[in-house]
Amino acid sequence: MFNNDLKAFFADKETPFYYYDMKLLEQTLDTCASAADKRGFHVHYALKANFNDRILQLIQAKGFGADCVSGNEVKKSIDMGFDPGKITFAGVGKSDKEIRYALSHGIFAFNVESIQEMEVINDLAREAGQIANVSLRINPNVDAQTHHYITTGLDENKFGIPNSELEKSAAVLRNATNLKLVGLHFHIGSQITDLNVFKSLCVKVNEWKNWFEERGTTISVLNVGGGLGVDYKNPDGNAIADFEAYFDIFDKFLERNANQEVHFELGRALVAQCGSLVSRVLYTKNGVKKHFLILDAGMTELMRPALYQAYHKIEKVGSGEQATINYDVVGPICESSDCFGKEVPLPISQRGDLIAIRTAGAYGEVMASNYNLREEIRYIYSDQL
């Protein structure tokens, strides 16, 4: 992907910056929408993955809903033209201010994660003279078999209502005059590549749907979250996630009644592969045991390797076929954790060479910081070529 044409285009650009392939993004969105639409599924885009304006404009134009985890994400969605009737608001710690804002704009539903939160939303909705739609986020105790920092569906995690409190939750809902239960919500984690995990989720969703319906509660929406992983090792060979296989699991194993909607919250799978972090080599450094490439991008531009020890493919822009050497690829930040990869085989490099860190369109730009008083990150789009 990062050939000599891109090398020439990037030559006079100030680094570091995020490069977004807008054509690939559109192809990914169209593929996802086609696979979902044929099954009658509804997809909300998870803003926490990437809230770059150009990316949101395209996602909104394709008719996706929005999944938000803060009041400012709700506001951003509305400002970008997303239909409030397709906006959900999740998160374990919604403030009163955030709840009031979402209520005032008539969002589709709050995904509630505790009994106390239900009580607060009910009180605030009463003050506003409104009825708030809510979905109960149930912790299904399903192991997503992914990094423990991004696993969310186990009993030990902070997310969702534990099974032991569902009876009490149902009682609170029956007495909450300003809440309307519209659905059940589940989310077990992120970067899930074993689709059998989603089969296990379907079994749990079926159990809890039946539990509520046996007690006379109508469930209009089954929100099964997201979590579909992407291929970080082969971003060109598997540029678009297998949405057909993913949705097919739920189509086959999820029990749903007539007129019962199934909602998804996809983020990474939609945007990860369209984004790359492009950086320049500031210095090469040969240690006693290591060869280092010191880049002008660091953990302030892409936090995932430092935070999760996450793998990203690293390549030299426009390198062609050349002899390689193993480098530790590091950034300029005054932290030993500021490292993108160890013993990475790359063509012999020198000061000024361009390096691309791939599959950075999700949880890249949005997690950037100005630690060490770093400058704000820049971005370039493929349609600017």
pLDDT tens-digit series, residues 8-63: 999 999 999 999 999 999 999 999 999 999 999 999 999 999 999 999 999 999 99
d(CA 18, CA 274): 10
Asked whether the CA dihedral 140, 143, 146, 151 is positive or negative, the reply is positive
pLDDT band at residue 149, thresholds of 50, 70 and 90? very low
Contact at 8 Å (CB) between 300 and 372?
Answer: yes
CA-to-CA distance for 166 and 183, rounded, in angstroms? 14
Confidence tier at 139 by pLDDT (50, 70, 90): confident
Question: Cα–Cα distance between 167 and 201 in angstroms, integer?
Answer: 21
Residue type, 135: S
Is the pLDDT confidence value at 362 over 50?
yes
267 vs 282: CA distance, rounded Å = 33
Give the integer Cα–Cα distance in Å for 183 and 137: 9
| Contact in structure between 212 and 164 (CB atoms under 8 Å) | no
CB 377 within 8 Å of CB 278 = no
Write out pLDDT tens, residues 244-260. Answer: 999 999 999 999 998 89
How far is residue 138's CA from residue 161's CA, in Å, rounded to a whole number?
5
**According to CATH, where is 2.40.37.10 located in the chain?**
4-18+273-384
> Over the stretch 306-336, which tens digit does the pLDDT of each residue have?
998 999 999 999 977 678 999 999 999 999 9
Of the candidates 255, 274, 177, the one whose C-alpha atom is nearest the C-alpha of residue 213 is: 255
Domain with CATH 3.20.20.10 in the chain: 23-272
Which class in CATH covers the domain with range 23-272?
Answer: alpha beta
Q: Domain 4-18+273-384 falls in which CATH fold?
A: Lyase, Ornithine Decarboxylase; Chain A, domain 1 (2.40.37)
Q: Per-residue pLDDT averaged across 216-233, rounded?
A: 96
Asked whether 137 and 112 are in contact (CB, 8 A), the reply is yes
Report how far residue 385's alpha carbon sits from residue 382's, in angstroms, rounded to the nearest whole number.
Answer: 6
pLDDT category at 1 given cuts 50, 70, 90 is confident
Measured CA to CA, the distance from residue 331 to residue 360 in angstroms comes to 16
Tell me what the pLDDT averaged over the chain comes to.
93
2, 7, 354 from 12: Cα distances, Å: 16, 10, 11
The answer to whether 246 and 195 have CB atoms below 8 angstroms apart is yes
pTM above 0.85, yes or no: yes
Q: How is residue 75 written in tokens?
A: 């506001």
Spatial CA neighbour of 33 closest among 202, 25, 219: 25
Give the model confidence (pLDDT) of 158-198 as tens digits: 568 888 888 899 889 989 999 999 999 999 889 999 999 99
Radius of gyration of the chain (CA): 22
